[in-house]
């Protein structure tokens, strides 16, 4: 009897909670789900408590729902910055606002960029207003006075761009390794030295995990990394998070792939200007590539094979591609990268996936983000046209079902100075 009463009460409470839940309906839009449902015309999305409850055509509208009429509009998942510096760099030339990495650390595996992310960064609101709802925030290797930089720059973090004081969704989301010409420079002038340093650190971390008791008792050999570094590297060795290798030249990509295979690491290529040359090998090894489509000129020896159709060739070979803008504080321009990639042969669907589904999968959050499907987090954007056209604007941006402000410092400055003599005072008047 008591059990029956409790069950009935639980049902009442659940019904009350459901009845009071915040519900938003977006009706009549063209919806790119980036999932099995494909692209739906004249579709309806029902958002409840921060998640997508239903998606389809001719759906009933829940009583009391806020309805957004979106006929003629386009809806996509929220865009994801696949590799950047949002929240850790405000003004490049002002050292006090730059928190990308630390000097004079031979190994920085324990260095977590998550601790430095500023949720009130102006750059976050500027990029969010143009459709960026999630981002991978990556540390950078910083040279010391001797020219040497950490072989692993530190731990990247995956964040949301919504409200709140804690934006971190996942940390660590990857470990950054700089190779190629820059990596050689950071390791005394030789590529092989950079790989040697990384191999030594990984071997030490593996040995430490197998002999931790002996290490704690002081009866194990000395390691190159600190105890904190060795502990931090265990998720990487276990394949739970990827090695994010900044590398361009085809032979360098092969070298990093061999090391990743040796230690059974998950690998993501960052940059990959010549990745198309090894597309078959990348596809076989299931290694995704994060590229800047505009890095298409032979500006240095390691990018002699750079080409505008890099993304198209990788996609055709079966390699997953994501986009990141080299000016890491401005990922909103990744839409233009995608549009240019399509103009040079990339499938349109693959270009949208490179901004949404692929980066979510790369960083281990694909089960809840990156596509528009029932049960997933309601990160989405309503566009006034084709999202890959530079003239298209994001009319509404939702992060976890919450409508975000469309204003930013840039729009506020525009409104202040577009009409001299208006209601807003100028910040400065020349005497």
Q: Which domains does the chain have, with CATH numbers?
A: 1-78+370-404 (2.30.40.10), 80-369 (3.20.20.140)
pLDDT (0 to 100) of residue 418: 79
Q: What is the pTM of this model?
A: 0.91
- Any idea what DSSP says for residue 386? -
Half-sphere exposure of 231 (CA within 13 A, CB side): 9
List of E strands, 376-418: 380-383, 394-399, 402-403
Give the pLDDT confidence of 150-180 residue by residue, as tens digits: 999 999 999 999 999 999 999 999 999 999 9
More confident residue, 329 or 83: 83
pLDDT band at 2 (very low <50, low <70, confident <90, very high): very low
List of E strands, 248-295: 267-271, 289-291
Across the range 107-130, mean pLDDT stands at 94
Backbone CA torsion sign across 230, 234, 239, 244:
negative
Which segment of 12-21, 46-55, 168-177 scores lowest on mean pLDDT?
A: 12-21
Across the range 368-383, mean pLDDT stands at 98
d(C-alpha 42, C-alpha 64), whole Å: 22
- Any idea what DSSP says for residue 30? E
Q: Residue 17 pLDDT > 60, yes or no? A: no
Q: Tokens representing 205?
A: 């971390």
Which segment of 31-35, 103-107, 262-266, 271-275 scores lowest on mean pLDDT?
A: 103-107
pLDDT (0 to 100) of residue 68: 98
Answer yes or no: are the C-beta atoms of 360 and 63 closer than 8 Å.
no
- CA distances to 29, 39, 339, 428 from 349, rounded to whole Å, are 17, 9, 11, 48
d(C-alpha 43, C-alpha 33), whole Å: 10
pLDDT band at 322 (very low <50, low <70, confident <90, very high): very high
What pairing do the DSSP bridges indicate for beta strands 289-291 and 267-271? Answer: parallel
Q: Residue 15 pLDDT > 90, yes or no? A: no
Chain-centre distance of CA 288, in angstroms?
A: 13
Q: Residue 215 pLDDT > 80, yes or no? A: yes
Which segment of 79-88, 127-136, 269-278, 407-416 scores lowest on mean pLDDT?
A: 407-416
Q: Which H/E stretch holds residue 3?
A: helix 2-19
pLDDT (0 to 100) of residue 428: 61
pLDDT band at 98 (very low <50, low <70, confident <90, very high): confident
d(C-alpha 15, C-alpha 37), whole Å: 30
DSSP string, 82-137: EEE-TTTBS-TT-GGGB-S--SS-S--TT-BGGGG--TT-HHHHHHHTTTEEEEEE
Q: Residue 81 pLDDT > 90, yes or no? A: yes
Instruction: Tell me the percentage of the chain whose pLDDT exceeds 90.
Output: 80
pLDDT band at 208 (very low <50, low <70, confident <90, very high): very high
- CA distances to 57, 260, 341 from 280, rounded to whole Å, are 40, 17, 19
DSSP string, 286-320: T--EEE-TT--S--SGGGTT--TTHHHHHHHHT--
pLDDT (0 to 100) of residue 413: 83
d(C-alpha 113, C-alpha 119), whole Å: 13
Q: Residue 36 pLDDT > 90, yes or no? A: yes
Give the pLDDT confidence of 267-320 residue by residue, as tens digits: 999 999 999 999 999 999 999 999 999 999 999 999 999 999 999 999 999 999
pLDDT (0 to 100) of residue 429: 63
What residues contact residue 362 under an 8 Å CB cut-off, 6+ apart?
Answer: 82, 242, 268, 288, 290, 320, 322
d(C-alpha 426, C-alpha 411), whole Å: 15
Across the range 22-35, mean pLDDT stands at 97
More confident residue, 145 or 389: 389
Across the range 61-82, mean pLDDT stands at 97
Rounded to the nearest integer, the mean pLDDT of the chain is 92
pLDDT band at 416 (very low <50, low <70, confident <90, very high): confident
pLDDT band at 431 (very low <50, low <70, confident <90, very high): low
Across the range 62-69, mean pLDDT stands at 96
Across the range 96-111, mean pLDDT stands at 84
Q: Residue 420 pLDDT > 80, yes or no? A: no
Half-sphere exposure of 47 (CA within 13 A, CB side): 23
d(C-alpha 290, C-alpha 359), whole Å: 9
Answer yes or no: are the C-beta atoms of 33 and 374 closer than 8 Å.
no
Provide the b/e sequence for 271-302 (b: ≥16 CB within 10 Å).
Answer: bbbbbbbbbebbbeeebbbbbbbebbeeeeeb
Answer yes or no: are the C-beta atoms of 352 and 24 closer than 8 Å.
no
d(C-alpha 137, C-alpha 113), whole Å: 7
Which segment of 212-221, 344-353, 367-376, 422-431 scores lowest on mean pLDDT?
A: 422-431
């Amino acid at each position: 009897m008591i059990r029956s009463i409790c069950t009935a009460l639980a049902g009442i409470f659940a019904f009350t909670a459901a009845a009071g839940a915040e519900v938003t309906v977006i009706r009549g839009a063209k919806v790119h789900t980036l999932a099995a449902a494909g692209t739906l015309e004249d579709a309806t999305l029902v958002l409840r408590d921060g998640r997508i409850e239903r998606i389809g055509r001719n759906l009933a509208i829940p009583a009391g729902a806020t309805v957004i009429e979106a006929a003629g509009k386009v809806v996509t998942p929220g865009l994801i910055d696949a590799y950047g510096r949002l929240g850790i760099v405000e003004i490049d030339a002002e050292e006090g606002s730059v928190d990308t990495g630390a000097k004079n650390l031979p190994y920085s595996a324990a260095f977590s960029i998550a601790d430095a992310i500023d949720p009130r960064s102006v750059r976050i609101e500027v990029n969010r207003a143009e459709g960026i709802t999630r981002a991978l925030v990556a540390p950078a290797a910083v040279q010391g006075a001797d020219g040497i930089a950490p072989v692993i720059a530190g731990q990247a973090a995956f964040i949301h761009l919504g409200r709140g004081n804690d934006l971190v969704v996942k940390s660590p989301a990857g470990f950054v390794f700089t190779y190629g010409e820059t990596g050689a420079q950071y390791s005394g002038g030789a590529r092989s030295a950079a790989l040697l340093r990384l191999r030594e650190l990984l071997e030490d971390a593996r040995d430490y995990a197998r002999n931790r008791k002996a290490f704690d008792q002081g009866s194990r050999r000395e390691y190159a990394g600190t105890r904190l570094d060795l502990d931090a590297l265990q998720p990487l060795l276990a394949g739970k998070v990827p090695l994010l290798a900044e590398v361009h030249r085809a032979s360098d990509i092969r070298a990093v792939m061999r090391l990743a295979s040796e230690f059974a690491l998950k690998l993501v290529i960052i940059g990959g200007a010549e990745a198309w040359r090894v597309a078959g090998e990348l596809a076989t090894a299931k290694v995704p590539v994060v590229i800047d489509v505009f890095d298409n000129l032979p500006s240095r020896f390691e990018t002699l094979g750079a080409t505008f159709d890099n993304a198209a060739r990788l996609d055709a070979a079966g390699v997953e591609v994501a986009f990141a803008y080299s000016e890491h504080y401005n990922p909103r321009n990744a839409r233009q990268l995608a549009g240019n990639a399509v103009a040079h042969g990339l499938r349109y669907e693959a270009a949208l996936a490179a901004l949404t589904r692929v980066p979510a999968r790369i960083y281990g959050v694909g089960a809840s983000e990156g596509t528009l499907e029932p049960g997933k987090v309601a990160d989405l954007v309503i566009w006034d046209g084709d999202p890959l056209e530079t003239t298209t604007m994001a009319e509404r941006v939702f992060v976890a079902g919450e409508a975000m402000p469309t204003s930013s410092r840039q729009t506020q400055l525009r409104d202040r100075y577009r009409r001299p003599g208006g209601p807003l005072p100028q910040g400065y008047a020349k005497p």
